[in-house]
């Protein structure tokens, strides 16, 4: 069943872009989708693959929701724009040390207020730079613990599966994990903010989860030097409804919900990816953005 995702109001600005979806291959009926983000140095056989993910770009219409931000929320569509001022400068928001020591503290306070949380656990910091990593292979990243520098992600996905969220909680809270899961509403929230303005290069497109169906998703393993995770890759469906924030001010953040233990009642995870904006200003500075992922226990 596709849930209704219409919203009242004037017709918003719309553009066209391409979304890279996971293809519906026969292979995935017998082999789970996977990706390894580092060379498997202990495997020497020729033909060993780091991934079996096969994607195809599909044209989609992407509408602007920044002019009607009050009509969107993480509990309904799965994403929203909100104001989250920070004491850190733009240059400090590119410094993972400053992010960990200061921004994380501010984010914990912000998420606690917004979601009436009892506990916040931030487990990932990612800086995405379209220019500085341009010389790296498309799938490359620089990873140190849970701090990453990566390209804007052009492939449609949801960061966390329910199994991956549970494993992360049990790994980080071995003595409290079962109690945290049983006694709280558990959400994974991504706080995403651009660090270059005007914000034109490689915008982030987000899909209203209500326009998806269960068969649109495929579990995929993602192995890094520090974690074995599981995401949801997304197959194309012409019913998908895509949105982006055409305008974001310096205090604005885009909140994406990646998981919700009350998914039967509220929004589940939010498919998303970057896209090439056809109306992008030619002279626009390459995108730089910063995001953190947090588990919110309410």
Q: What is the 3-state secondary structure (H, E, C) of 194-259?
A: ECCCCCCCCCEEEECHHHCCHHHEEEEEEECCCCEEEEEEEECCCCCCEEECCCCCCCEEEEEEEE
Q: Which of 31-45, 134-148, 154-168 has the lowest mean pLDDT?
A: 134-148
Under DSSP, is residue 55 helix (H, G, I), strand (E, B) or coil?
A: strand
Which among 125, 157, 173, 162 is positioned nearest to 289, based on CA atoms?
A: 125
Residue 287: predicted pLDDT: 75
Q: Check residue 129 and give its pLDDT.
A: 79
What pLDDT, on a 0 to 100 scale, did the predictor assign at position 45? 66
Report the relative pairing of strands 141-144 and 147-150 from DSSP bridges. Answer: antiparallel
Quote the CA–CA distance of 31 and 14 in Å, as a whole number. 38
What gap in Å lies between CA 212 and CA 259, rounded to an integer? 15
Sequence-distant (≥ 6) Cβ neighbours of residue 216 within 8 angstroms:
234, 235, 237, 240, 271
Task: Say which residue, 76 or 140, is predicted with more confidence.
Answer: 76
CB atoms within 10 A of CB 55: 17
- What is the model's pTM? 0.86
DSSP codes joined into one string, 105-145: HHHHHHHHHHHT-SEEEEEEEEEEETTTTTTS-TT-EEEET
Work out the mean pLDDT of the chain and round it to a whole number.
Answer: 86
pLDDT at residue 131 above 80?
no
Tens digit of each residue's pLDDT (9 = 90 or more) over 176-216: 999 999 999 999 999 999 998 777 777 899 999 999 999 99
- For 137-148, what is the mean pLDDT? 41
Q: Which two tokens stand for residue 272?
A: 């998303």
- CA distance linking residue 40 with residue 225, whole number of Å: 10
Quick one: average pLDDT of 70-79? 96
pLDDT at 278: 73
Long-range contacts of 174-180, Cβ-Cβ distance < 8 Å, separation of 24 or more: 180/119, 180/297
pLDDT at 9: 54
Q: Looking at the domain covering 15-38+50-254+271-297, what would its CATH class be?
A: mainly beta
The DSSP-derived string for 259-293 is EETTTTTS-----EEE---TT--TTPPPPEEEEEE
Distance CA(141)–CA(224), nearest Å, equals 10
CA separation for the pair 23, 236 (Å, rounded): 8
Tokens of 181: 């899961």
Greater confidence (279 vs 259) lies with: 259
Secondary structure element (H or E) that encloses residue 193, with its range? strand 186-194
Q: Which residues pair with 222 in a beta bridge?
A: 35, 229
Residues with Cβ within 8 Å of 184's Cβ and at least 6 positions away in sequence, in order, are 118, 119, 261, 297, 298
Q: Answer with the residue of higher pLDDT: 64 or 46.
A: 64
């Amino acid at each position: 069943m596709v849930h209704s995702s219409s919203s009242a109001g004037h017709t918003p600005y719309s553009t066209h872009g391409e979304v890279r979806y996971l293809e519906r291959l026969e292979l995935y009926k017998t082999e789970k989708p996977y990706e390894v983000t580092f060379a498997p140095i202990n495997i020497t056989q020729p033909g060993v693959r780091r991934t079996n993910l096969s994607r195809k770009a599909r044209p989609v219409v992407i509408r602007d929701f920044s002019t009607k931000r009050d009509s969107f929320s993480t509990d309904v569509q799965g994403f929203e724009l909100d104001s989250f001022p920070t004491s850190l400068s733009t240059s400090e928001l590119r410094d993972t040390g400053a992010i960990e020591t200061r921004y994380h503290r501010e984010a914990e306070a912000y998420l606690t207020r917004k979601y009436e949380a009892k506990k916040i656990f931030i487990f990932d910091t990612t800086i995405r730079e379209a220019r500085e990593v341009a010389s790296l292979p498309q799938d490359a990243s620089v990873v140190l613990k849970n701090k990453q520098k990566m390209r804007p992600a052009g492939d449609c996905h949801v960061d966390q599966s329910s199994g991956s969220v549970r494993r992360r909680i049990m790994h980080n809270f071995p003595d409290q994990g079962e109690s945290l899961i049983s006694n709280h509403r558990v959400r994974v929230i991504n706080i995403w903010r651009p660090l270059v303005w005007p914000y034109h290069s490689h915008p982030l497109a987000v899909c209203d989860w209500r326009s998806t169906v269960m068969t649109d998703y495929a579990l995929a393993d993602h192995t890094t030097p520090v974690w074995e995770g599981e995401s949801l890759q997304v197959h194309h469906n012409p019913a998908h409804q895509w949105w982006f924030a055409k305008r974001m001010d310096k205090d604005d953040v885009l909140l994406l919900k990646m998981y919700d233990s009350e998914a039967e009642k509220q929004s589940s995870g939010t498919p998303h990816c970057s896209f090439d904006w056809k109306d992008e200003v030619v002279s626009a500075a390459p995108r730089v953005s910063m995001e953190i992922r947090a588990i919110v226990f309410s």
